[in-house]
Amino acid sequence: MTKIGVLIVDDHPVLRMGICGLIALQPDLEVAADCVDLASARAWLATHRVDVAIVDRSLPDGDGLELVPLLKAQGAKTVILTVEDSDVEIRAAVEVGVDGYLLKSSDSEQIVMAISMVLKDSAAFPAHILQKLTQKSLDTPLSRLSAREIEIAECVAAGLSNKVIGGKLTLSDNTVRNHLANIMQKLGFHNRVQVATLMLQQMRRK
């Protein structure tokens, strides 16, 4: 069985070793590489591909978010693991298109769960992080969406993967993916977390 490759980018040796050890314990995961900064991560990604990357925000040579476009271009998922928990930091990560956002206080189960969720096209944002995202309103109206698109957006807000949404609405994975792409285009969003945030805000107003 081909294992899922995980790239770890963090400059703290103890934490990096801990995550490597955690990944090694998972039967379906393997550490593809571990890097200490942006430069070494970029150099590795220039000749390798990865399924998921766990990236710190504060690296010696810059912000870990700088790697997200490169990872997205490869089709890789990105989970941020950081101490940065301000509204501004979280929103910056969402806007650049990360798939998950965890604090370094997260336990091992949360990290493994986040990897599993993003691989299933679900967003991995704990409740307290989503709460921060919903504190400020987003101005984009839901009136731009069709009834079907609103159904899908509600499923995204519930944390369902594309596959589960397809099963629930009797749609293929590709159809769900296309609907979601249309939703994000209409709303001017870049990822499903922004869609979920908007829907959660609307639910709270009802």
In this predicted structure, the answer to whether residue 205 has a pLDDT above a threshold of 80 is no
Q: What does DSSP assign to residue 51?
A: S
Is 146 found in the same domain as 129?
no
| pLDDT computed for residue 138 by the predictor | 47
Model confidence, pTM: 0.68
| pLDDT tens per residue across span 170-186 | 899 999 999 999 999 98
Average pLDDT over residues 91-111: 88
Assess whether pLDDT exceeds 90 at residue 61.
yes
- CATH number of the domain enclosing 178: 1.10.10.10
CATH number at residue 129: 3.40.50.2300
Q: Do 150 and 74 sit in the same domain of this protein?
A: no
pLDDT at position 87: 75
What is the pLDDT averaged over residues 33-54? 96
How, if at all, do strands 100-103 and 29-35 pair?
unpaired
Is residue 122 within 8 Å of residue 159, measured between CB atoms? yes
Q: State the Cα–Cα distance between residues 31 and 11, nearest whole angstrom.
A: 16
pLDDT digits (tens, 9 = 90+) for 132-168: 666 554 444 677 888 888 889 999 999 899 999 999 9
Of the candidates 121, 116, 192, which has an alpha carbon nearest to the alpha carbon of residue 161? 121
CB 38 within 8 A of CB 59: yes
Asked if 37 and 83 sit in the same domain, the reply is: yes
Confidence of residue 12 (pLDDT cuts 50, 70, 90): very high
Least confident of 44-48, 84-88, 171-175: 84-88
Final residue before a domain boundary, out of 133, 159, 181:
133
The segment with the largest mean pLDDT, out of 53-67, 83-97, 113-127, is 53-67
Are residues 119 and 192 part of one domain? no
Residue 180 CB-density burial (10 A; 0-12 exposed, 13-18 middle, 19+ buried): buried
Phi first, then psi, for residue 48 (nearest 5°) are -135, 160
Segment 79-106 shows an average pLDDT of 86
Same domain membership, residue 177 and residue 117: no
Task: Residue 196: give the domain boundaries.
Answer: 142-205
What is the average pLDDT score of the chain?
87
Q: List, edge to edge, every strand of the sheet that includes 4-9.
A: 29-35, 4-9, 52-55, 77-82, 100-103
The CA angle 10-192-104, to the nearest 5 degrees, is 25
State the total domains in the chain.
Answer: 2
Query: Do 78 and 155 have their domain in common?
Result: no
